[in-house]
Chains A and B, each alone.
Chain A
């Protein structure tokens, strides 16, 4: 069948902690679907049977930030929405990654106006930008694969100083 058929007797493998932790992390990235506008429709399409984000281990879209590793910001972020996006990001436990999906999140897109944040990197650390207005689901899947590559290169020690979310900040905000 699988790997076990290659093993003779009691099988074991040797690896490093870094390698197996990174492999485990990148193989089940749980996304936080921060679907704010039309890009969210394409993000949902990436979850349907045709594109099937489950092939990459990311089918569990969690609607609570506390169970997520990856925030997909899909849509136009206004100045009024920015504190909300940031608050949800702050509630995600480390380690965490951010995909800025679509033109609006990267640069404000067509909304060159007073009410739209001209790029979410003004208040969030973005790992990957996805081009398109909106990007096709395959484009999002490509971004997910690239994020997985990035996660695969991490070491356990990279996150040794990471903290749990500061709950007081969240309550007072």
Chain B
């Protein structure tokens, strides 16, 4: 069976309660799922003997600015066994305590792939998405006391004046 059909089939067999959205574009398979299930699905994809997605190549996010679920966290994982790349997507909403909206967080997949550690830190640094159960969720590039998230669409290109102090002349 072709791997492109095998992955969705196995996932639907294993997790029939989860609503997967499977799409294919330019021979690339994308599977979208609700964020609560991300860790167990990733663990299955890694551990299953036919799939063996051993490598988390990339982990990032998209800011849709005005959409209801503002962010999408994107995972690119790779199976050496099948020489196949898979893209996982999960929507995360913006946190807004005033409107009593769900918080801007998703469970960390560092328990599955240790290499996701710094990539999740980078995503946190740039988008402000909290990764629950992450072992060391500090900022990656920006100074630790920086208060903004630079890759959000509402962040000005030239930054907030005075937000990063310079040494005195």
Contact = CB atoms under 8 A, between A and B. Distances in A.
Contacts of A86: 167
Given A79-B143, A80-B141, A80-B142, A112 B157 contact: yes
B166 A122 contact: yes
Interface stretch (A5-13, A23-31, A53-61, A113-121): A113-121
A80 B160 CA distance: 15
Contacts of B158: 112-114
A122 B165 CA distance: 11
Contacts, number: 37
Nearest to A89: B167
Interface residues on B, range: 10 to 19
A126 B142 CA distance: 26
Contact of B168 (A79, A87, A113, A123): A123
A8 to B, nearest CB: 54
B157 A114 contact: yes
B80 interface: no
Most buried by A among B155, B156, B158: B158
A145 interface: no
B8 interface: no
A115 B143 contact: no
B150 interface: yes
Nearest to A84: B167
A82 interface: yes
B150 A115 contact: yes
A38 interface: no
Interface in A56-109: 79-80, 82-83, 86-87
Contacts of B3: none
Contacts of A165: none
Contacts of A125: 169
3 nearest interchain CB pairs? A114-B159, A86-B167, A79-B164
7 contacts: A79-B164, A80-B141, A82-B166, A114-B155, A114-B160, A123-B169, A125-B169
Interface of B: 141-143, 150, 155-160, 164, 166-169
Given A114-B160, A123-B167, 13 more contacts: A79-B143, A79-B164, A80-B143, A80-B164, A82-B167, A83-B167, A87-B167, A114-B155, A114-B157, A114-B158, A115-B150, A122-B166, A125-B169
Interface of A: 79-80, 82-83, 86-87, 112-115, 117, 122-125
